[in-house]
Chain A
Amino acid sequence: MSTGGIIGRSVPRLEGRDKVTGQARYVDDITLPGMLFGATVRSRIPRGKIAKVTFGPGVDWDEFVIVSAKDIPGKNCIALIDDDEPCLADGTVNHPEEPILLLAHPDRRLLPQAVEAVSVEYEPLPAIFNIEESEQQSQIIWGTDNVFKSYLIEKGDIDAVWEEADYIVEGEYTTGAQEQLYIENNGMIAAFDPQQGVTVWGSMQCPYYVHKSLVKLFNLPGERVRVVQTETGGAFGGKEDYPSVIAGHAALLAMKSGRPVKIAYDRIEDMAATTKRHPSRTRHRTAVSKDGKVLGGEIEFTIDGGAYETLSPVVLSRGAIHAGGVYSWPAIRIRAKAVATNTPPQGAFRGFGAPQSLFALERHMDRIAKVLQLSPVEIRRRNFLKPGETTTTGQTVNEAVDLGKLLDRAMQLSDYSAKKERFARENKVSTRKKGIGITSFLHGAGFTGSGERYLSSVVGVEGCADGSVRVLVSSTEFGQGTNTVLCQIVAEALKVRYEDVSIARPDTQEVPNSGPTVASRTVMVVGKLVQSAALGIRHTLEGCGLLGATYSAEEFRAAVRAYVAKNGEFRSLAHYEQPEDIVWDEQKYRGSAYAAYAWAVYVAEVTVDLTSYSVSVEDFVALQEVGRVLHPVLAKGQIMGGVAQGIGFALYEKVIWEKGRMQNGQMTNYIIPTSADLAPIRVYFEELGNVHGAYGAKGIGELPMDGPAPAVINAVEDALGVPFNSIPLLPEDIFDALTNKRELSHVTGDHR
């Protein structure tokens, strides 16, 4: 598959030099003349009616610009799927961080005191805070039943399998909220001009989501709203939808004050108010034959969406589709629902529902193995999907993936069998219990189902006056390497130097809408379009005789220069077209859920220290099939970073809630892994290629988030012989379980 070119080579990160020298400009590094600073007055109760707002003493209110819902010129909403989240509360609040008023002042030091001086009186209403309370419907806080969205996925005759089953294995698994914890907090700068309209600059993943939201909020035509992404210091999904909220707030203050306004959250506000990973609960009931074949199963997957719908329907969809994992289910019924609670809305976080449902499935596979007295490896091997078989949505696996081979290689790389045997022997005489855990899983790349067709992305490649070429996309760089890889793809397509390719800053006035930078779609979907747009440039130059069949990089530059000198602007656009074999039925939830999947087997080795009850990950093998690896250093970086977040999800990162509000919203008490906590993460790739991606690439950004948590917890069970089915798993949870061990039912399999 080698092209002998730039693909597969680790070229320098395009914006890397600016980042290592401190020259990269993030939103809080930017100051505009006459700029004010904005702050948000938030609800302090989870649910109620706003009775009265008082501006207290000790503040010179004449110096402040104050915005309320009444100042909104258009629709009071954050436009997303159903536009149900207000931009500013208008009479009622539904969670304890809901924005009520906005303040701005030239001196940012005076804002905290002013926010404190606003007192809001409420008529409180009863509130609900978790999935169970929402299901009980003692309070209806959204729609008629507190359910944002539900899906049903069915395959085969599930009601018939229970009779023929030798075993029925049941389990319930839960995962907690997880904070994205990008190190750059959310922030925006906005300016307003009565003629030109609204302009915002800021930290974001999806400029056109912000654009759509501002158009509705200000009731302006699209051309009078401009959104520009500034350098973005990490996102992980946390800057998918929330930037629309801050952009709207900053822009309202800018309109009212007539001056530019910056709102830059500090860490405490960012952690309290912005989205997190949805807490989840998954129930499994599985029919298994005595030779270890899964005959069928029922899965009930429920996520807590918080107070407004926002992205919950699509998070739920991905979680539900991934709930059956890499296994062949002759029959299955997956019921999924997202419910409302009085907490800030939960949102996108790398993996987007799949880490939750796959944690449950991969723990459940170990439970089935235990019931049947099979090894965790064997239960997986006997049930792997094979090419030609169908997924839970009925999609035929037409990739040549061999999961058994991946499994063998992962076992060999991790020395799985020898270690498992040795740990079992040594654990008998040690207080440092060692264990090894394995998971196999997949992640679909691109938008689900017909999503890519609806997005209908457009990209451009431009020939410039100096002979260089420039990529025009709204796809954003926030660390993953978008800039670098898209330029690499163009250099390869045009057979020019990487240095001759640049990329435009995402600015809705400059670049077409290549869709949001989410869903592991950028390299695969957008990359393929960029490749095709680049070829358009070449074909045009060839067609008008400026370029021969073979040429040097210099000759190419000269041809571009000549074309631009003669014809002016030189742009080639490419539009997404759904491949014919990707067919999806949104009503029945059947068909090709994703154009391609990345496949993986991960192995974690842990030590549980029975003096401190802490778990440390001693070795981690991450083996995946991801199509073609375009840039090995970036690809490895994606996998290692994702694994680290997955280990955090399993062992460290606990959001403590109290009446809908996060109680530990600081880096001091919300703990993420440090360099001292993480053993080397060993990354290996298989490369089968992929017809739907640029040069055979698939999406890899989210995949590494899915597998680590169950691998780690499976390893903890291997070490201690006690199952844990809830994450995060903290030392105190292990202490509790071991001291009450006799009360725990070891295995809940029901032998028939």
Chain B
Amino acid sequence: MSESPPNRAKCEISFQVNGKLVAVRTYAMDRLLDVLREQLGLTGTKEGCGEGECGSCSVLVDGVLVNSCLVPVLQAKDAKITTIEGLAEGARLHALQQAFLDCGGAQCGICTPGMILAAFHLLSKKPQPTTEDIREGLSGNLCRCTGYAQIVEAVAEVGRRGTGG
């Protein structure tokens, strides 16, 4: 948790989350992670380490993959943010979500939202990544369950089918 002195004034910050405009009253230096989880109820974004090492809190801010535990919410002002809740279209899963299910890419599931967003980001830069690209591209997101192989397989599968966008 960030330690926001209670005597400092809150401010109103607005941005888009998953295509929807939101405004929050918050301390400027509060972590984007906490604002998403506590004020907006988007608990799909997870905290694993609180220091930018594990990638569980990964979200996209204007198309850039960030660790939301390291981003002060002020920095997200007017930005377009994508969280795991914004990936599926209604009941239809995104191709990456489906591939993670099919290939065994999700075990305990706690790293999964961040991992899927990291994969989404990778595919947006490189639609048909090699295995090496995927291993390198996801190396900022730690998973303790899978040994990564089934995650890499899921991302490669989406790349092959060209459905990652």
> Please, what's the 1-or-0 string for A626-658, where 1 marks a CB less than 8 Å from any CB in chain B?
000000011011001111110000000000000
Contact A20 B116 (CB under 8 A): yes
Contact A28 B134 (CB under 8 A): no
Which of A10, A20, A183, A645 is within 8 Å of B108, CB to CB? A183
The reply on A68 being an interface residue by CB < 8 A is no
Task: Give the distance in Å from the alpha carbon of A25 to the alpha carbon of B41 in the complex.
Answer: 12
Contacts of B48 in A (CB 8 A): 183-185, 267, 667
The reply on B23 being an interface residue by CB < 8 A is no
Contact A20 B110 (CB under 8 A): no
Contacts of B109 in A (CB 8 A): 15-16, 18-20, 24, 231, 233, 479
Contacts of B85 in A (CB 8 A): 21-22
How many pairs of A and B residues are in contact by the CB < 8 Å rule?
183
Stretch at the interface among B72-80, B139-147, B157-165: B139-147
Which of A31, A113, A233, A668 is within 8 Å of B110, CB to CB? A233
Contact B104 A234 (CB under 8 A): no
Stretch at the interface among A440-448, A672-680, A723-731: A672-680
Which of B3, B88, B116, B144 is within 8 Å of A113, CB to CB? B3
Which of A17, A19, A109 is within 8 Å of B3, CB to CB? A109
The reply on A138 being an interface residue by CB < 8 A is no
The reply on A329 being an interface residue by CB < 8 A is no
Q: Is the interface of A mostly helix, strand, loop or mixed?
A: loop
**Size of chain A's interface in residues, with CB distance under 8 A?**
66
Contact B53 A108 (CB under 8 A): no
Contacts of A23 in B (CB 8 A): 44
The reply on B148 being an interface residue by CB < 8 A is yes
Contact A667 B104 (CB under 8 A): no
Contact A676 B135 (CB under 8 A): yes
The reply on B12 being an interface residue by CB < 8 A is no
The reply on B43 being an interface residue by CB < 8 A is yes
The reply on B121 being an interface residue by CB < 8 A is no
- Shortest CB-to-CB span from A350 to chain B, Å, is 10
Contact B138 A675 (CB under 8 A): yes
Contacts of B3 in A (CB 8 A): 109, 112-113
The reply on B106 being an interface residue by CB < 8 A is yes
Q: A22-B84, A667-B54 are in contact. Are A234 and B110 (CB under 8 A)?
A: yes
The reply on A29 being an interface residue by CB < 8 A is yes
Contact B142 A637 (CB under 8 A): no
Contacts of B146 in A (CB 8 A): 637, 640-641, 644
Output the nearest chain B residue to A19 by Cβ-Cβ distance. B109
Which of A181, A267, A633 is within 8 Å of B50, CB to CB? A267
> Please, what's the 1-or-0 string for A54-90, where 1 marks a CB less than 8 Å from any CB in chain B?
0000000000000000000000000000000000000
> Please, what's the 1-or-0 string for A9-50, where 1 marks a CB less than 8 Å from any CB in chain B?
010110111111111111011010000000000000000000
- Counting chain B CB atoms within 10 Å of each CB, the highest count among A18, A23, A110 belongs to A23
Task: Give the distance in Å from the alpha carbon of A481 to the alpha carbon of B107 in the complex.
Answer: 7
> Please, what's the 1-or-0 string for A503-522, where 1 marks a CB less than 8 Å from any CB in chain B?
00000000000000000000
- Shortest CB-to-CB span from A268 to chain B, Å, is 8
Contacts of A674 in B (CB 8 A): 139-140, 142, 148
Contact A641 B145 (CB under 8 A): yes
Task: Give the distance in Å from the alpha carbon of A672 to the alpha carbon of B142 in the complex.
Answer: 8
Which of A181, A633, A642 is within 8 Å of B103, CB to CB? A633
Contact B53 A182 (CB under 8 A): no
Contact B110 A641 (CB under 8 A): no
Task: Give the distance in Å from the alpha carbon of A349 to the alpha carbon of B138 in the complex.
Answer: 26
Contacts of B141 in A (CB 8 A): 675
Contact A183 B84 (CB under 8 A): no
- Shortest CB-to-CB span from A572 to chain B, Å, is 30
The reply on A383 being an interface residue by CB < 8 A is no
In chain A, positions 538-571 with a C-beta closer than 8 Å to chain B are none
Contacts of B98 in A (CB 8 A): 20
Q: A234-B110, A267-B48 are in contact. Are A640 and B150 (CB under 8 A)?
A: yes
For this complex, 8 residue pairs linking A to B, each with C-beta atoms less than 8 Å apart, are A20-B116, A23-B44, A26-B110, A185-B48, A233-B108, A478-B108, A667-B53, A678-B135
